[in-house]
Amino acid sequence: MNIVLLGAPGAGKGTQAAKLVEKFGLCHISTGDILRAAVRDQTPLGVKAKTYMDAGDLVPDDLIIDLMKERIQQPDTTAGVILDGFPRTTTQAVALDGMLASLSRPLDAALLIDVDSEVIVGRLTSRRTCSSCGHIGSTADGAQCPVCGGDMYQRADDNEATVRNRLEVYEKSTAPLIDYYRGSDLLVQIDGDRDQQVVFDDVVEKLGL
């Protein structure tokens, strides 16, 4: 099964992706991971992408598509893939459709983990990170990490103004993409404002896994 994963920052996409990987052996692929791996391995496409990254420029869509095509043909993707962070626009979505069709591996679903923006603001502004072990918790943990006893702190990008800006950017960029997949009858919308396991059970049912 090949899935595009959609959802705002803090909606719980990473949690659900990890559960899908663990239970069904799907390969979780993010654009950032692809770029870093290609550059690290010095593949021809990675070398090309590095020239843009070193210059501080965005890597062009066609190069990202080529990197994705290269990655999706690797052996660990045979059970299917979860694409995270790509596509980001309808232009990229159309290109992705063409690429997957050329590989005879069409997209099965666009999975949207949907959570109200005010709930996400509450989630992210209450998030706390351990300065010692990196454990991610919340204000409920208090000042000390429940794992190692280190100091818990709030990341700079978890303040309310930054969170609201990130959500605004997400809405503007992703709303057309959601409409695109809804029009293609591929959109699977899940209420993410529930217990993680309840959400996962719903994901499995609606994807027919």
* Residue 21, pLDDT score: 95
Contacts of 179 (CB under 8 A, 6+ apart): none
* Residue 97, pLDDT score: 93
Q: 189 pairs with which residues across the strands?
A: 112
Tell whether 14 is in a known binding site: yes
Q: What's the mean pLDDT in 48-73?
A: 86
* Residue 171, pLDDT score: 87
pTM higher than the cut 0.85: no
Tell whether 31 is in a known binding site: yes
Could you give the residue numbers annotated as active site? 13, 88, 127, 155, 166
Quickly name the fold that domain 2-116+161-207 has.
Rossmann fold (3.40.50)
Tell whether 24 is in a known binding site: no
Tell whether 143 is in a known binding site: no
Q: Where are the domains of the chain?
A: 2-116+161-207
